Structure 1
Amino acid sequence: MNRFGYDRPSDVAEAVRDGNARGVRFLAGGSNLVDLMKENVERPVRVVDINRLPLHAIEDHDGGLRIGALATNSETAWDARVEAKYPVLASSILAGASPQLRNVATAGGNLNQRTRCLYFYDNTTACNKREPGTGCSAIGGVNRVNAILGASPSCIATHPSDMCVGLAVLNATVNVTGPLGDRTIPFADYHRLPGEDPSRDNTLKPGELITSIDLPDEDFSGNYTYLKLRDRLSYAFALVSVAVVMRIENGRIAEARIALGGVAHKPWRSKTAEGLLVGEVPSQSAFLAAAHALLEGAQGQGANDFKIGLARRAIVRACRQAADGTPQSQIDKRVA
């Protein structure tokens, strides 16, 4: 770990001033940043500890909910309003990490997790995300956990967050502040695909800080699920995960949203695939058609070819769980 400066601002304006410099990183729960610093993947010249900022609250907002950037994952998952109105978010959070990590990891930090790849964490290998222009060792290397959608010749890493997959189907928005003032980012536009510059995981501008996440005034408490498939049932990143919310009226699907995790550089949605379900009676054939559309263009890299079939089956299973109103349990993690 390199030597670095340390600031602990007491208000948001001071944090933005401190954070608006090259090589500065904001520190919240530290469950990702500190690990990266220990591995010399992240080498900040200064760390700005934001834990004193007034960004911890979870509050009612415009009929929906506003989650402060420093609200912990546990606080969010167990909030009565989240459980009642946005249970897919609670379920996605409880599917991730461990209780100990959820007690310190924050909402804002969860959005800013670095994408996951074995080579990104290995300083002895080439990695365009860690050192742009050096190459991607995962292409042609050990790539069982890597992306099948939205990848590029520069990077096939995947986004590791479970919470973000839940936020994706809820059409959340991200509120940020920075040197140029405040702005709101639709959740679908927050994370980036790798393209030619995989070193940037999101669309934050230099010095910008997440202040809160807004959930709209919608209720998908009746038909939802979060299904996570992984190598072991506890404390493991998703090989494939699926969040689904639906509105079913008169026996037909009036609205459907599906997001995939573990398969791309960001939570993956397809409006085309979701549109195929609207007006349909919930059925295996309808769910399979949506799965094929959602996975259009999917491409394996050898060791992760299996993820395409796994994702297809997971989408169909998750859609059935949501349609039946029998969401996947995050206590008994065996696939329902």
Structure 2
Amino acid sequence: MRFVQFADAHGDPEAAVVHNGARYPLGVPMRQLIDDGLNSALCRGEHAIAESAPLASDVGGGALIPFQPSSFRDFMTFYEHTCGTSGTGVVSAEWYEQPVFYFSNTSTCVPGDGSMVAYPPGSEQLDFEAEVAAVITGRGTDLTVAEAARHVFGYTILNDWSARDTQLREMRVGLGPAKGKDFATTIGPCIVTADEYGSRRTSDGRLDADVRAYVNGHLLGADNLVNMSWRFEELIAHASRGSAVDSGDIIGSGTAGNGGCLLELRSNHPDPPPYLSPGDEVRIEVDGLGSITNVVGYPTKAPKVGRARPPLRPRHAVDTALFGVPAGHTYSEGRM
């Protein structure tokens, strides 16, 4: 089944099941649908299609994100993308040993209905990342791969927007990515349930679905989920190791290869495309999941925090030049 979320007459989010192009309201928000589990959602959907009238085409016209995720782990599973963005053209030995992820912000999720994504403060290198996310139902810890598969509610398209210049600066410190990623994430336009999307599985359990990325209508990247080096249930099992995955979490596939982002194309292309500019339209399409589209907005401004201060009581020599203070300068220790 395919579920979407719309704003009801009171402006509150409500889930609907899509059948033959029509939307049938379910009377609960998408998050409750996810929390109650896949079997319950399928029963609700079947009942709504059989017993309810579809929504009028002009009702709930304002697109919403499918739901507000609880947490967002984004992995790096596509070999070609990993090679193409490594800076060396090769993958580190550690990449082969286990899937690796980072946490991103769930408070900045935006719908893919043509809504605007503004440039984050201080960046001049805005990029897209074409991905798919698994939506988690139920809490689990130290899951086996088979157990993890039972925690997949469904799948949705994901665009992990990236400020590459900001990302590079912070990762040089040995931490991150953080501010290079947390300003916007697009998910949508729907959630396709695990039972329906599972029909795309190959003999080794991977999903067979083309992923395409367009900028201003021009195809820049094309890959397939079969090129993920780990299956989603393996990512979920790893995420739960010594920790927990929980209902409403999303697990990102990582960026598709062969042009799934501009950084890869700029690293390996004789005529590299520019980073995104205000007014550019980015569309991500995935077979069986639909498409999400956003327009790039103008740069935003935010107050600066400022440079690091030198230690007040240093245990080692302080590089005063890098701290921007005169050599021999001392601080008087005041107390608040």
Q: Which has the bigger relative contact order, CA under 8 A and spacing at least 6?
A: 2
Higher share of residues assigned helix: 1
Larger gyration radius, structure 1 or structure 2: 2
Higher share of residues assigned strand: 2
TM bin (shorter chain) = under 0.3
TM-score if structure 2 supplies the norm length? 0.23
TM-score if structure 1 supplies the norm length? 0.23
